[in-house]
Structure formats: structure tokens, C-alpha cells
Structure 1
Amino acid sequence: MVQPAVRDRGPAAARSWRHPAAAQARCPVTPADPTPPTDAGTEADAGTEPVVAEAPRLQLRDPLPPVVDTAAALDDTCARIMAGTGPIALDAERASGYRYSQRAYLIQVRREGSGTHLVDPIAFDSLVPLDTAFDGNEWILHAATQDLMCLAEVGLYPEHLFDTELAGRLLNLPRVGLAALVEHYLGLSLAKEFSAADWSTRPLPEPWLVYAALDVEVLVELRDLIDADLQQAGKRAWAAEEFESLLLFQGPPERKEPWRRTSGLHKARGRRALGIVREIWHARDAIAESRDTTPGRVLPDASILELATAPPKDLNALKSLRIMRNRGPRRFVETWFEAVERGLALDEAQLPTTNQRVDGPPPPRAWADKNPAAAERLGRCREVVTALAEEHDLPSENLISPQLVRNLAWEPPADVSPATVSQVLRQQGARQWQVDLVLDQLVEALAA
């Protein structure tokens, strides 16, 4: 069994600890010069921290595969995947900073005995043949919630999965990004320079394709090492529940008033200004969706706030504003003016409230004034969660959702008991292992 990493909780060690398996990395490393320096003093004499050598870069083991963008190539890919063995490593690249949709623009697949495949989902109506080729085998994903929806959009649905990021969180690792886990477990560095690239670009540049292929290059090895640590830590059953719940993931809950996500909304003073923000936001969103471009490229949030806080008197006044000098916003100048006019014409009853929290309790900082008893309950519940998280070596947010704790503290069951609190926890998405760990002490905190 792979031995767990030994962690010194001190601040210096927390920056550089590494799993013992890192010494077994596949990438060849040039041995260090065994001859000690003759002029340099000791680290203590020099008064400097020891220099940590940069980890060698992860490299592709096989030549970069061609992009799969024809029916014949897809059939060949499916056949090769079915001939492979073991779990299937998957990743997807989107163009979130450039496109309105969250669709996948490249899907990377790797399986032992099959190699890596780079599939262009835009070239196909669906990828159901690929889903059939997976044949119920375990998927390995990193940060699965980022990719599951765009994979489902093209017909790919997991039956079993292992999320390396979520597993890293359950192990309470200090960093759980893919590059950090690859370095910790395998002693290799993984560049992430193209993570925010426009993956809707065609053709995709070769360096981007290499980057994409590397994201699945060692996912299978990484999964096995993390799994061994989960078992040794006694957390494998917890992880299994977490992974099982991901199979039902349908995306984040839809916000009741998504326009309130406008950056800097606090600058819009009064309900009238908020009404104008809402009208412009919805106009912009419709344009962005129709053009499949990110809304901020149509009109920045800062420009929405500027129009809402100082509405132009007429169309010419709007055209003369600095924010309309750019071709993007100016192209839809009449749309913005019509939205401003609609906001100014709203009846008082139609104006939005100044309460920016419409999807749950107010911010905790306001509880002491609005509901002192709830504020006291929340304080007790947070103390319980913090202590339990430390006891079980978990991040508190993975022990139990902070929002769920706030909901319970703000409005607990009329009859606080293990049965009623357990019911609320389960109804709001807590897994059974989480309920088992927190239930008794949360009931005490709520009933105190």
C-alpha cells in the first residue's frame, strides 16, 4: 500500500510537502551533482531558506494524437477504448470567458491500452457512440462538477466516477488543483497556461492540444495513489458516497434573480437604479445568448452600473458617453437606451427590493440585528463544525455545507430533535456520512 504523506503542520513545510510516491515518477530526472559546494556556507550561516528545486515537467508518453473530428475517426476511437482496460480518464475544455454557453469544445479521453484521444464534440451531433464504448466503466475526472453538464450535453453520462479534486479535499490536502496533486503525488509539474484560452478556436493550436492531452496523461496513476490514501485514512466510504451523489448532479441551482450577480451592484442606490440594472442586464443577456458570447464582452458590468446610476436623458446623450466609444457596446446603443427607459418607467410596485439576498437567509453579519437568537445559534453551530472538522481532518465546508448550516440556524425545525434535523440535512443534500458525523452535536447547538 502507498504510504501517506507525512505533513509537518508548520508554515514552511506546508508549502513543500510531497507524497512518497513522487519519487517513483515516470519522467526521468537528471541526478543532482554529488559534489558539495566548497565556497557556500550552511543554510543557517547564510540565513536563507533552502532552495526547493523545481519539479520536472510532465511530458506526453506517446506522440500527440490527431483530433477526432470525423465519423471514421470516432469509430476507431471507440474501438480502441473498448479494447483498453481499467478506468477511463476524462477532461473537457470550454470557452467560458469567450462564449455564453458552457458547452465542451474539446474532450480528452485516456485509458490503459488505448492511449489518449482528443475528440472535437463540435464536429458531431452527439457522442453517444463514445458513451457506449465506455460501457459502464469508472470515469476519472478532476473537479467533476465543472465538466459533467457539458459532457451530458453531448450524450456522455457516467455510471461510476472518481473525482480526484474532491478526494483531495476529503484528505484535507493543502492544495487540490490538478497541477498541485500531480506534483504532490508524482513529483512532476503540470503547466496550466492555456486553462483560460478560447477553446472554441478552430483549428486548435498544437501547444493547446499538448496541454489538453497532459490533463489526462496521469489521471489513472493519480487516482490509484489518492485512493490508497483514502483507504488508509478510513475515508474511502465517505468518498464513495460523495462520488455517488455526483452521478445525480444537475448543475448549480438556478438563481431567482440572476441579474443581482452584477459586479458592483452595491453602487446602485435605491430601487429605481436597481430596476434599470435589471432591465439592462436582461437585454444584455438576450444579446449574449443569441450571439453565443460572454455577456461581459457585450457590455461590461461597470457600464451597466454607470447607466443605472446616471441615466442618459436621450439617445444622443447615451451615444456621447465614454462607455459607448467601443464598437461592442455602441453596436447595441438603442437597446441600452430602451432598457434605461423601461427601468425609468417602472411603477413603484414593479421595482426590485433593495434586499440583495433572495435565495436564503440574509448575510450573517446582519443576523445580530435582524434575529439575535439565530445569530447565537449560528455561532454555536459554527463552533461545532470547526471542532468536528479538525477532529476528522477535513475542511469544514466538506464536512457539511456552510449554507446548510446557515439555513438550519436561521430557521431550525419547530421541534429540534435528531429525527427532524436529520431530515432537514438530508433534504438539503447532506450525505449520510456527513449526517452521522455532525447530527448529535448540531442538535445540541440548535437546542441550547
Structure 2
Amino acid sequence: MAEYSVISDRTEFEDAARALAQGTGPVAVDVERASGFRYSQRAYLVQVFRRDAGVFLFDPPAIGDFTALQEAIGGTEWVFHAASQDLPSLRELDLDPPSIFDTELASRLLGSDGFGLAAVVEHTLGIHLAKAHSAADWSVRPLPEPWLEYAALDVLHLVDVRDALSSELSETQKSEFALQEFDATLHRAPKPPREEPWRRLSGLHKVRGARQLAVARELWTTREEYAQQIDVAPGRLVPDRSLLAAILAAPPSKQALAGLKEFNGRASRTQLDRWWEAIERGRAAEQLPRERVPSDALPPPRAWADRNPEADLRLKAARPVVEAIAEELHMPTENLLTPDHLRRVAWHPPALTAEAIGAALSELGARPWQIAHTAQKIADAFVDAPQTASDATETAS
């Protein structure tokens, strides 16, 4: 069993960067964060493998400046498993690949039985990986040796997996699909910050009235600011369900809040003054939040028959058509076409032609290969769909 160590020294780091620069072929890259433990999504370990160089485990907080690594590997393809999870953390370190190969996405396009790293490695290479530390707190130091072995295995086989999947993509004539998916992942713009992020509070739909919503806003914001200040995941201080319990109970005093057994969490009592002051600010707020917030989200499909019956008929006609195409291509339906894209063109369709449907899908972010396989058949399904509920009833009878 190989022994691994974490590189935190500047000289060691620069030596490793030179070794990687002299390696051959693509580089496998992975990131370990401390989600669920820390507030930030920063990288606490960066793993890199390249043939003829080996595996290197880097300590981002200790190293700081990763320019030497970017210069060493920034001219070749980077191989990831689920790249969209790792790219934001890498970009915080100014590590940015010129092109990527995503083994999870490739496996989806190939219709593999499982998409997790262990399943993909076993499918392609016949190697069994024990995935035991994925939810660990990677911010701790020193990192235990079993964790380091786990981290190294995340990249050790990834280039071999890439080569095997690349061959499968070529054999199934899906290489172009994959190239478009990888490029879309690499260049996808980050989601803009929410205007009112406090509305993410779980269970907020149970809160009634603008005044109580103001309390929710203050409690959530206060927890967020404190969590960021001490770099701890907000839910580890006071979980959402506890904030919600305090809002719904509307305690008349700080003592009553302290006596609320549903209000728990590691900071629920040690920071009691902080939470009570937030409640009082919410109760005294002059600017009250809106009770209903405009949204461009579509209603759930189960409500379409009442809200937009023609759209409901279009969706019911087109969905099995798209599912059939996905089955023919041997891939999950959601990888052939994002379900929300189909729902949106069904809800408010353009002209019922392949060109118009394709343009609408492109505007939503669908890739050319997806449009080529679906636009015409969606347009045909829309045209053939019953135009009214009575038409559907007559057709069924």
C-alpha cells in the first residue's frame, strides 16, 4: 500500500509542479472540501495525478499561491469526475483548465449502470474502490493516513478511466455529444446570487404574515453572518428546523426562547443573546418583506391541467417522445434534455416548427446535439397533441 503525504511546504510544492510539468498526457484533478463543517466551499485538499509524475496532494490553505501548478498543467486537458462540483473551488485558487474530460458525464451519456466514481472505476477497469471518507471534515490537520489514501485513489485511476470511456464514446458515436457537454460545463456561468437568499430557509412556507417573515429574515441573516465570521456551516450552529421552530413559536421573551426544546444546535444557547436580538429586530423592522414573491418558476406539472390545460396536453404528448429517444440513445432522459427545458417550451411554445423549438431550446441552454435529436420530434408531438381537454377525451374514447 502506497503512503501519501500532504504537500504544504513551498519548496516541495514547486518541486511537485515541475514533476507534473514533465509528466505525460492529461492530468486528473480532484478537490476535497469541508461541506457541512465549514461555511466556505474552499478547497482543503487538491489532488493531482499525471502519468510519469505520480499523485500529489496539495494543502491549499498552507500553499496559498498556486501559480506554479497552473503553469505546470494549464496547457493540457484536466480529467474530473463531476467537474461542476470542483471547478468553483479550483477557480478560487486561480486554477483553471483549458479543457476538461468529465468521467461522470461521459458515463451518463453512455448509459452506464452507475455514475459514482466507484461504480465507474469498477465498470471500466474492474477495480473496486472503498469510498469511506467522502463526508469527512477535510479542514482538520493533520489528515489521517486512511483519508490520504482515499483522496489519492480519487485521481490515481482517473486517466485510465478517461481513456476507456473515450473509446466507448467513439464506438457509440457519442464523442461529439461529450465534447459539447464538457465545453458547456467548463464555460457555464455561475448562478447569480439570490436577491433574498434568506428565503432558502427550509419550511419557510409554514410562516404566515410579513412580520413573522421579517423575523425569519433576521434570524437567517444573523446565523449566516455569524457562520461566515467563524467559518462554520450554518446548520451546525442552529439547524433550519430550529430556526423555524423559534419563528413559529413566537416566544415572548429570551427566557421563553431558551426554554423552547425544539430550538437546539451547538450555538442555540451559547449565542442566545444573538438570536433573541435578531427576533427583536424582526419584530421592530419597518421594511417588511413581501409575503408573495414573483417567480419565473413554472408550476409543478401536476397543476398544469388546471392552470394551463393546453400546455399540459403538449407536455404529456412530448414527454414520452423524448423518453423514447433517450432509451434509443441508451442514456438518462435528463441528459438528453433537461426536463425544465421541455416544460418551458411546452408551457409557452414558439411556432410549432423544429427551427422555432430548436431556437427556444438553445436560448434555454440546450446543446446543439440535444436540439438535433429532439427539436423536430418535440414539434411533431406538439402538433399532434390534442388542443383541448375535450379533444383528448374524444381521442381516448
TM-score w.r.t. length of structure 1: 0.81
* Other-structure match for 1:395: 332
Supply the AA of the counterpart residue of 1:81: L
8 Å Cα contact 1:384/1:445 also seen in 2: yes
Whole-angstrom CA distance in 1 between matches of 2:181 and 2:265 = 47
Q: Secondary structure at the match of 2:267?
A: helix
What is the match of residue 35 of structure 1? none
Q: Tell whether the 8 Å contact from 1:94 to 1:199 is kept in structure 2 after alignment.
A: yes
The answer on 1:373 being equivalent to 2:316 is no
**Is this contact kept in 2: 1:324–1:333, CA < 8 A?**
no
User: What is the alpha-carbon distance in structure 2 between the residues aligned to residue 135 and residue 305 of structure 1?
Assistant: 47
Describe the SS at the equivalent of 2:26: strand
User: Aligned equivalents of 2:263 and 2:74: distance in 1?
Assistant: 53
Q: Show the 5 A alignment for 1:263-412.
A: 263-269=202-208, 272-323=211-262, 327-345=266-284, 350-354=288-292, 358-412=295-349
Mark the CA change 1:171 to 1:325 in structure 2 (over 3 Å): closer, same or farther. Answer: closer
Residue 442 (structure 1) aligned to one of 378, 385, 390: 378
Give matches, 1:134-283, under 5 Å.
134-252=73-191, 254-269=193-208, 272-283=211-222
Structure 1 position 442, deviation (Å): 1.6
C-alpha distance in 1, partners of 2:195/2:309?
27
Partner deviation per Cα, 1:83-107 (whole Å, 9 max, x = no partner): 1101101111000010111111001
Q: Distance in 2 between matches of 1:325 and 1:379?
A: 46
Q: Does 1:124 align with 2:63?
A: yes
Q: CA deviation at 1:428?
A: 1.6
Contact 2:4 2:145 in 1 (8 A): no
Moved over 6 A (4+): none
- Identity of aligned pairs, percent? 46
Partners of 2:175 and 2:227 lie apart in 1 by 43
The 1:180/1:252 distance shift into structure 2, 3 A limit, reads farther
Q: TM-score, normalised by structure 2?
A: 0.90
Contact 1:256 1:358 in 2 (8 A): no
Give the C-alpha shift of residue 303 in structure 1.
0.7
Q: Give the Cα separation in 1 of the matches to 2:189 and 2:67.
A: 19
Partners in 2 of 1:406 and 1:190 — Cα distance? Answer: 39
Letter in 2 for 1:437: H
3-state SS of 1:74 partner = helix
State the shift of 1:272 in Å. 4.6
Pairwise CA distance, 1:190: 0.7
2:378 counterpart letter in structure 1: L
- AA in 1 matched with 2:289: L
Provide structure 2 residue ranges, at least 5 long, that are not aligned to the other structure: 386-397
Unaligned runs of 5+ in 1: 1-59
**What displacement does 1:387 show?**
1.5
Letter in 1 for 2:373: L
CA drift at 1:379: 1.6
Rounded to whole Å, the distance in 2 between the matches of 1:147 and 1:132 is 19
C-alpha spacing 1:324/1:397, structure 2 compared with 1 (3 Å): closer
Q: Is the 8 A contact 1:389 1:396 kept in 2?
A: yes
* 1:156-208 deviation digits (Å, cap 9, x = unpaired): 11111110000000001121100011112222211111100000001111111
Relative to 1, partners in 2 of residues 1:136 and 1:247: Cα closer, same or farther, differing over 3 Å?
same
- Relative to structure 1, is the Cα distance of residues 65 and 193 closer, same or farther in structure 2, using a 3 angstrom cutoff? closer
Helix, strand or coil: the match of 1:89?
Answer: strand
Bigger mean CA offset, 324-333 vs 234-243: 324-333
Match in the other structure for 1:425: 361
Matches within 5 A, 1:18-33: none
Q: 1:257 to 1:444 in 2, by over 3 A?
A: farther
Q: 1:384 to 1:279 in 2, by over 3 A?
A: farther
Shift in Å, 1:371 = 1.9
Shift of 1:131: 0.7
Residues 118-138 of structure 1: CA deviation (Å, up to 9, x unaligned): 011111232121011004111
Maintained 8 Å contact 1:255/1:359: no
Structure number having the greater helix percentage = 2
User: Which deviates more from structure 2 when the two are superposed, residues 335-344 or residues 400-409?
Assistant: 335-344
Other structure's SS at 2:101 match: strand
Q: Aligned to 1:214, what secondary structure does the other structure show? A: helix
2:49 matched to which residue of 1?
110
Q: Which moved more, 1:368-377 or 1:145-154?
A: 368-377
* Residues matched between the structures, number: 384
Distance in 2, Cα, partners of 1:206 & 1:432 = 46
What is the root-mean-square deviation of aligned Cα atoms in Å?
2.1
Q: Provide the C-alpha distance between the structure 2 equivalents of 1:213 and 1:444, rounded to a whole number of angstroms.
A: 50
Give 1:359 deviation, angstroms.
Answer: 4.8
What is the alpha-carbon distance in structure 2 between the residues aligned to residue 343 and residue 142 of structure 1?
A: 44
